[in-house]
Structure 1
Amino acid sequence: MAYTQLEPINEGLLSRLSNLLLCRWSCGSCWRWCWECSCCQTSDEEVEILGPFPAQTPSWLVNECNGEKSTDSQVTPNDHTSPPARNNTTSPSHRHSGSDMSRSTFSLVRQFSNLDARRPSSPLMDVKPIEFWAMGPRKEVVQPLRRPQTPQDDYFRKLEPRLYSLDSCGDDVDSLTDDEILMRYQLGMLHFSTQYDLINGHLSVRVIEARDLPLPVTCDGARQDMAHSNPYVKMSLLPDHKNSRQTGVKRKTQNPVFEERFTFELPFLEAQRRTLLLSVVDFDKFSRHCVIGKVALPLSEVDLVKGGHWWKALVPSSQNEVELGELLLSLNYLPSAGRLNVDIIRAKQLLQTDMCQGSDPFVKVQLVTGLKLVKTKKTSCMRGTIDPFYNESFSFRVPQEDLNEVSLVFTVYGHNVKSSNDFVGRIVIGQFSTGPPEMTHWRRLLNSQRTAVEQWHSLRSRAECDRVSPASLEVT
């Protein structure tokens, strides 16, 4: 019975103490009770609903609110000594409705929020890492080694300004219009169209024409005349240059009209992930073909099914010269029979040597022992293509003791009926290899005899092969 009488007293005392502290924090100028302080009075208009409350009010909040209302009705304002005991039975006049309880709950929550808002923030602390010191052999204090900290200003010195300057070679031309690109580079414009055929499952690219192409440039930087302007367009799908195509060569013109259509067999989803690259190239029969400019069109940015026509300004290409092409070879040596077997499988993206569309390429294989030409063989001629498939095999008799002195010279020519065959590219594999890839292929052959080894090789010019390989000088 005594416990039940003391419980309301304790609740009222805790309620008054909390109200006293809240008033002290909020006002800072009085020690009165919250109901006597004018700054703590809240009217019905000032009540703010701070957010969605739970369905059931917490018990501790309800108890404090009940204690606050109970002490308000029983304690006089001038009594600060001890609160009177509260009866266990509550009269009807002391009962609160649901709206009064909610108003008291919101008022108390607002007091807590004002308390947190006016509470001074904690000062900033400079926390330093713990340093461990040691004693030297002579009982001297040894300071730990500290890494020099880079000043904040030096952070920007690590950046390469040339990579972010407007005059750099890697500037973003996507932000420029076609007129601005044409005025800056003056390389001409290209007219083409694209459309995807959903029924047949292929991408159709139509190369229509080009305008205002610049004249070709000689090795010393001088402009040539109109007679040396022989442009054509080479196209492929990035990023792997899948199924390259190229138009015929238009002679002696800076405004060529091509009107040629090409198809790429690939699924629609794969076509949307690729970029169409069109390069305008100047044809030169006696040297490498020079790239005039290029246009890159991401196919994800256009409506392939509907199709469309575009006039695009040409931008400079980082690849100033067209590559001569690639050759896939397979080598195998049989020591018991003393035979060196050579398989010429295929070539791709060969240099065009004919003014008409495509070329008529073939491959000549020559066996050189030491510095003496021993044997010459060649493949059949593939008509009208720059991606020929040969799949032809040749066998040379090479004794085991002479294998380290052997060189194989592979030369790709374009067949020409009216004159001598046109040189496309060359590589040398063996003792006098023309580069690290060719030397790697030859080492693989020596280390794995009786096993065929395949490898792709990039063709080189005649001058480059003659400069690095004596075997190239011994063949025609």
Structure 2
Amino acid sequence: MVTLTGFPAPLEPISAAWELRMTLSEIVKYLVLAVSISLLLLALGILAWQIIRCCSHTHTRYTQRETVNNDLMFSEEKSSAAENYSGAPSTKTVTANAEAFRLSRYFSLASYPSSASSQSDGETGEKVTSRKVDGSLRFSVFYDQQQTQLVVTVLQAEGLFQDRPTRSLHPFVKIRLMFAESTVNMEEFNCDEREATPPVLWTVLQEWRTRVVKGSCSPLFGDQFTCILQEEEDLLRHISLRMEVRDYDKFSRHTVLGEVRVPLERLHSAYPLELQEALQTPQKDLVGKLLLSLKFLPTSQRLEVGLLKIRTVLTQSHSNEALYARVTVQSNQSKLPYQKTSAVPRCSLTVFNKVLIFSLPEFPVEQCKVLVYVYESHTSKKSSKRLIGQLIVGKERSSEDEHWSLMMRSVRQPVAKWHSLLI
């Protein structure tokens, strides 16, 4: 006979095991919850730290920008009060915005500079030293009258000044063979600017560049360049060599350390003449006049830049060349995408008649610069181009270009004005 009195006994270990399992699952659950809460608190702490850091960094940048702007305004007032001061400029290092302000202010004040009164280089991104020029350049020049061939040999640069001990110099020499037009008819420009002495209008016949010597303040070059000149008796009187010693930069922002100018009319020897000249302060040359039109549309916040015509010196070497212009607009510290014109065959008066439209990002416009770069290209070589000159027109915080003022007084109406093209 089977009895069922002992049947419930096996249920007791099962219930104990189930309770133990429930206890372990709750413990794991609470551990996971605690870890999640800890991670959440840690993430909130990191987020708060990043917000505080971002706010303090933004405040610091704003304070530095205001300080730089105040310094620039003070330096401009000081320069206007001491206009005839000829001492060496300051060597204080400022930000890139301050350097751009200084260059734009200089270009806006430049008017008809000759080879003896102009400043710095005109290439994109290149900088000019703001210190006393040191060093000398040794070179050799020879003009073969029988073959009408000019031979220029760059030998050595000595005593170059290194203003930053943390970075070594990488010097090279850029050579331009400049031709000067004897007379410039300013009435062709139909502008209001007049001078007692007509300016000299230059053009670049040839352009060379030596190799880069890395890490040397007295580099040895030994590079030789040749050029065949036209057979004219008084040709050498209008040609000069412009040799600039530059510090190489991999971003093409080469620093001009100094320059040497040699008129070829000094060369009367039948043998190579070796010279050593001290480096002088870099200067700019007038290479043409550009008729520029500006038109501002405040409702649509657009700026229309019209490139009408350009006057340059035309030689026989420029017969198969074309000109085109590239325009860049910088408004309130923001740089707009550049636009360029189509290539036009070069002549003494090259006509573009091209209008480029730029949409300004912010209003009101506190700072705006219109940068025009004119390039020369060969019709047979599509890849080759050479900068022949540039100009800058615009408005700054404490100064305003005359052309810009005329444009703002004639809103929605184009205003045309001749500008000096410099290099």
TM-score (norm 2): 0.40
More relative contact order, 1 or 2 (CA 8 Å, 6+ apart): 2
Higher share of residues assigned strand: 2
